[in-house]
Amino acid sequence: MASQIRVISTSNVQTVAARSGDPTPKIELTPWDLQLLLVDPIQKGLLFRKPRASMDSVIHRLKASLSSTLDFFPPLAGRLTFDEYDDGTCSVFVLCNNSGALFVHAAADDFTVSDILQPTYTPRIVHSFFPLNGVRNYKGTSKPLLGVQVTELRDGVFIGCTVNHVVADGTSFWHFFNSWSEISRGSSELSKPPALERWFIDGINRPIRIRLAEAKEKMKFDGHLNSQLRQERVFHFSSEKVAELKAKANAMACSNMISSLQATLTHLWRAIVRNQGTDPEEEVNYRLLIGIRPRMSPPLPQNYFGNALQDGTVSMKAEELLSQDGLGKAALEMNKMVALHTEEKLVSHVRSWMKNPRLLTEHGVAGNALATSSSPRFDVYGNDFGWGKPVAVRSGAGNKRYGKITVFAGAENGSIDMEVSLSYEILEAMAKDSEFMDAVSAASYD
C-alpha cells in the first residue's frame, strides 16, 4: 500500500506568534486526558474535488493558514513532557514550545475520487492518507501532536489529520478543523476561539501522578484486532429513514425521549447481533462515548479544548435485543444509560479514578462490546478551505478494531453515516438482511 503513495514533501509548520518569543506554558492534563496515553490518536479526513487553482498554490495556502490557526491552538504545535518521581510515578504535561506540526504533501497518482467512494468496502489505501500511523499518544514527547497529510488524487484532494488524543477529543478535533478552514477562507480571527484552560474537580492533588511504565508493561493485544481480518463499510441513513427509526423506537417504547442517533445505533446493533448468530442467552454490550461539556454545573464551554468524555455501556441478552419490540426497548435503555451520567456521577468517577489511575489499552477499549465514537453533531461538511465543500469524510486506522462504529453527519441535513468495522462475512450478511437494509439508503456524492 505504501508504494501507492508518493511523498512529494515533508515539512514542519510552526505558529507565527510563538516565533516572536512568546512563553511556552505547561498545560496540566486531566484524568480524561491521561487515560488515553496508551491508545492511538484521532484520525479523520475529508475528501474534496480537485481545486481549479494549481496544487502549488493550494499547498501554500494550506500551510500558511495552518500556521495562522496554530496561533490559536498552541498545544497542537507543542509536545508532551514527563516529570518523573522517585516512587516510579510521573506526571504528564503539554509543553507549548512551538516544536511544530507535521505537514506532508503526497500523491496517489493512480486513484480517483470514485475509486475511494464507489467500492462497497473502503479501500485500504485510505489509511495511507493519514500521517503518524502507528504512533501511540504517549510518544508525543518526540512525535508531533498534530500531523496533516494532503494527498493529491487524479481528480481530488484528501486532507487527513492525525491529532494526539491526549490533547483533544472529537469535539476539539473538529473545532480545530473548522477553525483551520475558516482561516484558509481568509478570516484573520476565529468565530469561536478555543478555551485552553483544563478543568479539574476541586480538592485533587495536582499535578496528577500515574504509573505509565507499569501500564505499558500490561498492554495486551488480541489476534482479532488484526486489521487484515476486518473490512470497513459506510452505511448511509437518510434523514427520512432516521426519522422513521426514531418514531418507530419511541412508539415501541411508549416514549418520546429516544433520539435519532440512539434509534439508528440500536437498529445497527440489532443487525450486527442478528447476523453474528449470537446465542440468544448471551449478553451483548454496546459502548458509547458521552460528551460531558453540558453535563457539568456550570457547563464547560462548548469550545473547551481537551478531552471531556465518559464511556457508558448498555447490556442485555441477545434475545431481548432481537425481540419484536427490541428496537424500542434497547434504544430506551441506551437513552437511560446516557441520562444517568449526571455531574454527580461524573465527578464520582473522576475521584474513583484518582484513587486507582487506569490507562486504557487497545485491548481494554475493545473488550467484547461494539463501540461508537464521533458524533453526527460535528460540523464536517462546513469545512470549505476556499475551493468548495468536501464530498465525503473517512477515518484512518487509529483505534480501529473489530466492532468499531464511527458516526458522522451525512452530507444531507439530518442524515447519518456510520462507518462500520467488522469481518467481511458479517458485513456481507448484513447487506443481505432486508430488515436492516430497508433503512439504509444509497449515499449521494455531489
Q: What is the pLDDT of residue 332?
A: 98
The rounded distance, in Å, linking the Cα atoms of 299 and 295 is: 6
Q: What is the pLDDT of residue 230?
A: 86
Delineate the domains of the chain, giving CATH numbers in brackets. 2-217 (3.30.559.10), 224-437 (3.30.559.10)
Predicted confidence (pLDDT) per residue in 25-36, tens digit: 999 999 999 999
Measured CA angle at 75 (ends 201, 12), to 5 deg: 165
Task: List 394's β-bridge partners, or say none.
Answer: 45
Mean pLDDT of the chain, nearest integer: 93
Residue 61 CA to residue 52 CA, distance in Å, equals: 14
Query: 104-142: buried (b, 16+ CB within 10 Å) or exposed (e) per residue?
Result: bbbbbeebebebbbeeeebbebbbbbbbbbebbbbebee
pLDDT digits 0-9 by tens, 293-351:
999 999 999 999 999 999 999 999 999 999 999 999 999 999 999 999 999 999 999 99
Active-site annotation, residues = 165, 384
Q: Which grid coordinates are listed for 301?
A: 464551554
- Mean pLDDT of the 60-71 span: 97
pLDDT tens readout for residues 229-281: 689 999 999 999 999 999 999 999 999 999 999 999 999 999 999 999 999 99
**Per-residue pLDDT tens for 172-225?**
999 999 999 999 999 999 999 999 999 999 888 999 999 988 787 766 544 444
